[in-house]
Chain A
Amino acid sequence: MTSAIEVRNLRCEFRVNGGWFAAEKRVIAVDDVTFRVPAGSVLGIVGESGCGKSTLARLILGLLKPTAGTVLVDGKRLFDLDRKARARLIQPVFQDPFASLNPRHRIKDIVALPLTAQGTFSRAEIERRVAQILERVGLSAAMGERMPAQLSGGQRQRAAIARALVLEPRIVICDEPTSALDVSVQAQILNLLADLRRDLGLTYLFISHNLAVVEHVASEVAVMYLGRIVERNETDALFRAPGHPYTQALLQSVLTPEPGRGVPDIGLGDAMPDPSNIPPGCRFNPRCRIAVERCRTVAPSPMARPPQGMVECHLA
């Protein structure tokens, strides 16, 4: 079976100017990431803020040029595709629906943009398809006439999903599609995304910092830490038996709805990871509870983990 998305040794560095006198710093946002997403499945990517999740999404969408490595989408190199062919294959749903819809355009024009940009659809065909997809995501035709400011967050995210799907792409990159929404609306949007995937046979790359959400939607999960995937496995296996101490800590950090329990202490300490200053050895070692001497000097290489996963830890 062909992979919908295949990423090989992807690396992305930013050079940050420190000012006139400070030395230029290199920020390694994505460091040698390799994975594949089979067609029709959902890869969830989790990790804390600043771990490179969104950079990874931007690289796969072609919004950023990688420093090294390749991205294959549906077996084709992303940078060999022109903008129209790329748009037909892969579409994004961004985090903040208040930022992802142009405030000066009507909803139906926003949703129609992928069709009009192709330049091959007739006006009647565009109207028909926009009406169809708006109905499919649960927006009335009257909503299409409105401006984004007149819609609620959930409605805006539905419009963003409609825009992503109107061209019938095979792959959708969801970059934290629910984290800007009210809790009550999150479930609706997640169910809508799940229904659409089942009905249209879509492949999702689903980025989130919310483990419960990822467990709900993903068939496979990758955990990112400081630009690297430190553990990857089928969702059930990963949640049942996490191998990497970072994954274990993340799973412990999930808040319980039970009152009085407070915020759990997950033992990661207060040190913030800094992608411009990645520690030697295992990049997680300064925060790791079980780190040994070898972790501070030798970077672990990926080891297979049943049933189909991998983990980068000396001690797993």
Chain B
Amino acid sequence: MSEPIAIQGPLQAPLTSRVGMTGFAIGIAIVGIIAVAALIGNQFVPHDPFTQDLGNRLKPPFWMEGTQAGHLLGTDQLGRDYLARLVYGARISLLIGIMTVITSGVIGITLGVLGGFFGGRVDDAVLFAITTRLSIPVVLVALAVVGLMGSGLGLVVATLGLLLWDRFAVVARATTMQIRNLDYVNAARCAGASTMHLLVKEIVPNIASHLAVVATLEMALAILLEAALSFLGLGVPPPLPSWGLMIAEGKDYMFFSAWVIMIPGVALFVLVLGINLVGDGLRNLLGSERLR
């Protein structure tokens, strides 16, 4: 399908373009740089993220005294290169974010669109599922699942994916209800189109912009939750260098080597900020387009 056309009203253009677009550009730049680093960054870092070198433990990064040549961001408590671990951790954060968004998006959008489109009993069931889900505290359930079944990347993704679909469902349901009785949906119905066609071709493309905004929010949330779980030792198992795990492992050394927790902390902050800026920008860009 060809590119959708963004319709911008003359009144909205000056307001959104200046402020919103700068943030959007910064967000895209941040997320883009981190994504590139995650994909090919290890080619440029001369160290392996898992190789220990106990003689060179806790070497500070380049801007501090006593830094070790070759270890740009220093080393951790086991002498592993911090830049290599940071780059590898970006891969884990992004992977978890994307996989969680895909899993929860599929669940939430399916439920929301079905409930919004059919209404009645189907909608009651979907609403019940949403309220049930909202009554479950995410972190507690994630802790319990990981505690019972052991930790692992796949398990974290599955747990978060099965827990974070509520916002997708709420937004998909509300927007579907807004457009399900519009004339183009009626016209497609009169054209003899199947229900599947109505849902997939007429409804979903027209709520996609709203869902894209939700996706960025959920991705940021999933990345933060993974870090939190890893920090508690219930996320990604060591020695995999998740950013949350790096903070957890460094917390014993933070009084004398504060950068061990500051570097992954700042990385996490910047990534989540970047994703949220992209989400804001998307909303500004697509918000001016009327639901038709």
Contact among A87, A96, A102 for B192, CB-based, below 8 A:
A87
Whole-angstrom distance from the CB of A133 to the nearest CB of chain B? 13
Binding site for A on B (CB under 8 A): 1-2, 4-5, 7, 182-184, 186-194, 197, 201-202, 205-206, 289, 292
Residues of A contacting B197 in the complex (Cβ-Cβ under 8 angstroms): 117
A86 within 8 A of B: yes
Residues of A contacting B186 in the complex (Cβ-Cβ under 8 angstroms): 58, 61, 63, 92, 94, 100
Do residues A106 and B183 form an inter-chain contact, with CB atoms below 8 A? no
CB<8 Å pairs between A and B, sample of 8 = A92-B190, A99-B184, A102-B206, A103-B184, A106-B1, A113-B191, A147-B5, A150-B5
Known contacts A91-B190, A114-B191: A149-B184 contact under CB 8 Å: no
**Alpha-carbon gap, A105 to B201, bound state (A):** 9
Q: Which interface class (under 10, 10 to 19, 20 to 34, 35 or more) fits A?
A: 20 to 34
Contact among A87, A94, A103 for B191, CB-based, below 8 A:
A87
Residues of B contacting A83 in the complex (Cβ-Cβ under 8 angstroms): 189, 192-194
Do residues A104 and B192 form an inter-chain contact, with CB atoms below 8 A? no
A114-131 with Cβ < 8 A to chain B: 114, 117-118
**Alpha-carbon gap, A96 to B183, bound state (A):** 8
Whole-angstrom distance from the CB of A97 to the nearest CB of chain B? 9
Do residues A94 and B193 form an inter-chain contact, with CB atoms below 8 A? no
**Alpha-carbon gap, A58 to B187, bound state (A):** 11
A78-113 with Cβ < 8 A to chain B: 83-84, 86-88, 90-92, 94-96, 98-106, 113
Contact among A84, A90, A160 for B187, CB-based, below 8 A:
A160
Residue of B5, B182, B192, B193 with most chain A CB atoms under a 10 A cut-off: B192
A163 within 8 A of B: yes
Give the 6 A-B CB pairs with smallest separation, nearest first: A87-B192, A100-B183, A104-B205, A114-B191, A117-B192, A94-B183
Whole-angstrom distance from the CB of A16 to the nearest CB of chain B? 15
- Excluding A61-B190, A94-B187, A99-B184, 4 further A-B contacts by CB distance (< 8 Å) are A86-B192, A106-B2, A114-B192, A149-B5
Do residues A163 and B4 form an inter-chain contact, with CB atoms below 8 A? no
Known contacts A83-B192, A98-B292: A104-B4 contact under CB 8 Å: yes
Residues of A contacting B4 in the complex (Cβ-Cβ under 8 angstroms): 103-104, 147
Do residues A99 and B193 form an inter-chain contact, with CB atoms below 8 A? no
Do residues B188 and A102 form an inter-chain contact, with CB atoms below 8 A? yes
Contact among B2, B182, B190, B201 for A99, CB-based, below 8 A:
B182
**Alpha-carbon gap, A98 to B289, bound state (A):** 13
Nearest to B188 among chain A residues (CB) is: A113
Whole-angstrom distance from the CB of B281 to the nearest CB of chain A? 20
